[in-house]
């Protein structure tokens, strides 16, 4: 619905990491094939800490996706980052407790990807440029603290994150950014600001969040549509597409046949 895919098909995948959040929706826009997966499920019934991020990202890779744009709700720690606006995140702080979603490579191999710059710099610049062209209000960079959820922050937590210099808080993006890097996908994100979290003396409730989501969705839709219209972009100097080249610390020849198959989508080009 965000960009209007028109005629589309639904694809259900089995993955080595379990079931994705739902069907992958595949359609076309401006001559480009688009794949969409609703992280919370089709009817928003999956809590942030119960999403199978690994299956979702693996599925995107399997379907031939190369560039991923995520859209998610966040609370703001800064007066100037207003509810109803959008922000292009470029840094993350992980406060989660779900090791199963932390990496694809959880057995039989040691893989340590470079993650100093968790967002593809080329995609980040492109999204900002498109937002300017579209004339939407936005903040061009910021740090996202990923909490466990599903509860919102306590006031003490919110004030602590604010004192650390964080920009926004959310419950989903950290997993997706890290797994996209391991899958050698270009990753960018548009965060929709729904509220001022709890550092401000105001009640954070679902109706207010939904109202601000609807307001910012218009801006997010314009940016995503603009990105699709201009895609593909000139070659970029980023290392996203070869992130695993210097990240595998184990000898892949020692992988069992079962593990070699499990990781084949991600590591096959590095197998001898």
Long-range Cβ contacts of 21-29 (<8 Å, 24+ apart): 21/46, 21/51, 21/52, 21/55, 21/56, 24/59, 24/60, 24/63, 26/63, 29/3, 29/4, 29/5, 29/225, 29/228
- How far is the C-alpha of 140 from the C-alpha of 124, rounded, in Å? 9
Helix (H) or strand (E) holding 55: helix 53-62
Are residues 45 and 165 in contact, defined by beta-carbon separation less than 8 angstroms?
no
- How far is the C-alpha of 221 from the C-alpha of 230, rounded, in Å? 14
Residues annotated as catalytic (active site), given as ranges: 195, 197
């Amino acid at each position: 619905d965000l960009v209007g895919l028109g005629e589309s098909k639904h694809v259900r995948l089995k993955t080595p990491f379990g079931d994705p959040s739902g069907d992958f929706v595949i359609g076309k826009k401006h001559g480009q094939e688009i794949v969409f997966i609703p992280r919370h499920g089709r009817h928003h019934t999956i809590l942030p800490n119960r999403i199978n991020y690994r299956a979702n990202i693996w599925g995107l890779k399997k379907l031939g996706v190369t560039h991923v744009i995520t859209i998610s709700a966040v609370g703001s720690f800064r007066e100037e980052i207003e509810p109803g606006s959008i922000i292009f995140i470029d840094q993350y702080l992980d406060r989660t407790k779900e090791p199963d979603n932390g990496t694809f490579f959880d057995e039989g191999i040691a893989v340590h990807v470079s993650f100093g710059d968790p967002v593809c710099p080329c995609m980040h610049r492109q999204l900002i440029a498109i937002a300017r062209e579209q004339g939407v209000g936005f903040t061009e960079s910021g740090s996202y603290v990923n909490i466990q959820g599903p509860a919102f922050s306590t006031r003490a937590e919110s004030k602590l994150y604010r004192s650390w210099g964080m920009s926004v808080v959310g419950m989903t993006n950290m997993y997706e950014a890290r797994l996209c890097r391991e899958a050698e996908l270009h990753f960018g994100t548009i965060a929709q600001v729904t509220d001022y979290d709890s550092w401000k003396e105001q009640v954070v409730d679902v109706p207010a969040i939904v109202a601000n989501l609807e307001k910012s969705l218009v801006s997010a839709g314009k940016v995503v549509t603009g990105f699709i219209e201009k895609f593909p972009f000139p070659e970029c100097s980023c290392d996203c597409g070869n992130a695993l080249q210097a990240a595998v610390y184990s000898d892949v020849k020692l992988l069992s046949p079962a593990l070699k198959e499990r990781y084949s989508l991600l590591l096959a080009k590095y197998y001898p």
